[in-house]
Amino acid sequence: MKKRVGMEVSFAAAEAIKLCNVDVIAAYPITPQTHIVERLSEYVANGELDAEFVPVESEHSAMSLCVGSQATGARSFTCTSSQGLALMSEIVYITASLRLPVVMMLANRSLSGPLSIWNDHSDVMSVRDCGWIQLFVRNSQEIFDHAFISYKIAEDHNVLLPLIINFDGFILSHMFEPVELVEDSIIKQYLPPYDPKYVLHPDRALTMGAFAMPAVYTETKKAQDEALRQSYPYILKAWQDWGDLTGRYYHPVEESYTEDADTIFVALGSFAETTGEAVKTMREQGHKVGLLNLRLWRPFPFEAFSRAVKNARNLIVLDRAISYGGPGGPVASEIRSALYNLENRPQVYSFISGLGGRDVTVQDYIDMFEKAISGKAPQDEIFGVRG
């Protein structure tokens, strides 16, 4: 019988990381990810998890530790939020360039200033081009499942790239939700012990992080880009294999009511669930509206996305970050680029909302829809600005 329990989402994340049998945890506290590493420290202290738990002095040190431990063949984990990601960003880029399959959970939170501990996507969008595989999850079950899926993807010898699991801070991290646990035998079947392809060892000479002259730098970055793009089929396979074992299948873009939709909302993360409620309400009112949940952010699923929206007239893209001085939010500008060569491409409306944790209600999504189909909405709008 499948075991379904209620727990804080951060604790579900920690439980999954424990079951992944990680070797090294690099931990530095920052709201709202702290409950994950606190729970993992308890598992290590009481002997439930045989791992090195290292309370480092900063987020920069946390990622530096992961680089060193992963390079010596240890399955490594860390997590952070907001300013913590900004501080570790120097090493985030290096981790991807070194092709080290670190997994990081990012409890998405606003970047300062002004200081805010609440949720939006400004932190992850600041490193959208860091070279990591990047996923967005919507609820407790998805973050639990994607711990195993992420190591499966990252450690594949055809991939060897680090991976970020994005989940909304507070909106998810501190909520209690039901989660269906997975038997240890299934996890071991799905995620075998880590088998590193390249390891630093004193008996086998190996160079990581070498200096590159201009004559070869371009080629190294081209190779890195190709590696990220070519990870796509292995991401699909990891999702397929997990679904075959658990019955829970995931996709790069997940569609609801899109078959006949004239207007489609595009959302990332937990806001897709609230948007889904708005779509159901509008469907009951007779509107041809659908929802597309963009789960895979990097590598961007160009073909799957284009297929999903090819018959729509309007796309309402829900951004949770501002691209200052740019053409709408970062997700909307990316989608406009992705659809540029599509015949009869839909009109893209960028609605930036939910900044700094502000609530966005079902009625707000209905208002966005009505503005878009009226033809009076600007193509780019920071929604709900008072005064």
CATH number at residue 76: 3.40.50.970
Model confidence pLDDT, tens digit, residues 2-14: 789 999 999 999 9
What's the pLDDT score for residue 376?
78
| One domain, residues 261 and 220 | no
- Residue 345, in any domain of the structure: yes
Which of 196, 369, 212 has the alpha carbon at shortest distance from 275? 369
Q: Where are the alpha helices (DSSP H) in the chain?
A: 9-19, 34-45, 59-71, 82-97, 122-125, 140-155, 184-190, 214-229, 232-246, 271-284, 302-309, 330-338, 362-374
| One domain, residues 276 and 224 | no
Instruction: Compute the Cα dihedral for 124, 129, 132, 134 and give only its sign.
Output: positive
Check whether the bond before 384 is cis (ω within 30° of 0).
no
The count of residues in the chain is: 387
CB 128 within 8 A of CB 330: yes
pLDDT band per the 50, 70, 90 thresholds, residue 156? very high
Model confidence pLDDT, tens digit, residues 61-100: 999 999 999 999 999 999 999 999 999 999 999 999 999 9
pLDDT band per the 50, 70, 90 thresholds, residue 344? confident
What's the pLDDT score for residue 143?
98
pLDDT band per the 50, 70, 90 thresholds, residue 262? very high
Task: Choose the final residue of a domain: 194, 212, 244.
Answer: 244
Number of domains in the chain: 2
Q: What is the mean pLDDT of the chain?
A: 96
Task: Kindly state the average pLDDT of the residues 7-30.
Answer: 98
Terminal alpha carbon distance of the chain: 55
What's the pLDDT score for residue 342?
85
| One domain, residues 182 and 268 | no
Angle, CA of 349, 352 and 357, to the nearest 5°: 155
- Residue 209, in any domain of the structure: yes
| One domain, residues 262 and 308 | yes
- Residue 56, in any domain of the structure: yes
Angle, CA of 345, 351 and 356, to the nearest 5°: 145
Task: Kindly state the average pLDDT of the residues 276-289.
Answer: 97
Give yes or no for residue 133 having a pLDDT over 60. Answer: yes
Task: Report the share of the chain in percent with pLDDT over 70.
Answer: 100
Task: Kindly state the average pLDDT of the residues 302-328.
Answer: 95
293 Ramachandran zone, left/alpha/beta (phi>0; psi -120 to 50): beta
- Compute the half-sphere exposure of residue 82: CA atoms within 13 Å on the CB side of its CA: 24
What's the pLDDT score for residue 1?
55
Task: Choose the final residue of a domain: 184, 218, 244.
Answer: 244
What's the pLDDT score for residue 343?
85
- Compute the half-sphere exposure of residue 307: CA atoms within 13 Å on the CB side of its CA: 8
Q: How far apart are CA 63 and CA 283, in angstroms?
A: 46
| One domain, residues 117 and 172 | yes
Instruction: Compute the Cα dihedral for 103, 151, 130, 341 and give only its sign.
Output: negative
Task: Kindly state the average pLDDT of the residues 220-248.
Answer: 98
Which of 334, 164, 299 has the alpha carbon at shortest distance from 224? 299
| One domain, residues 198 and 300 | no
Parallel, antiparallel, or unpaired: how do β-strands 52-55 and 76-80 relate?
unpaired
Check whether the bond before 252 is cis (ω within 30° of 0).
no
CB 312 within 8 A of CB 262: yes
Domain that holds residue 58: 4-244
| One domain, residues 10 and 60 | yes
Model confidence pLDDT, tens digit, residues 179-196: 999 999 999 999 999 999
Phi, psi at 267, each rounded to 5°: -135, 155
| One domain, residues 87 and 196 | yes
CATH of the domain at 308: 3.40.50.920
| One domain, residues 59 and 125 | yes
Phi, psi at 206, each rounded to 5°: -155, 140
Tokens of 230: 């070519």
| One domain, residues 148 and 283 | no
Task: Report the share of the chain in percent with pLDDT over 90.
Answer: 94
| One domain, residues 212 and 273 | no
Task: Choose the final residue of a domain: 222, 244, 266.
Answer: 244
Q: How far apart are CA 259 and CA 249, in angstroms?
A: 20
- Residue 115, in any domain of the structure: yes
Q: Strand, helix or coil at 128?
A: coil
Q: How far apart are CA 340 and CA 342, in angstroms?
A: 6
What's the pLDDT score for residue 135?
98
pLDDT band per the 50, 70, 90 thresholds, residue 387? confident
Which of 69, 35, 30 has the alpha carbon at shortest distance from 51? 69
| One domain, residues 74 and 142 | yes
Give yes or no for residue 23 having a pLDDT over 90. Answer: yes
- Residue 387, in any domain of the structure: no
Q: How far apart are CA 95 and CA 102, in angstroms?
A: 8
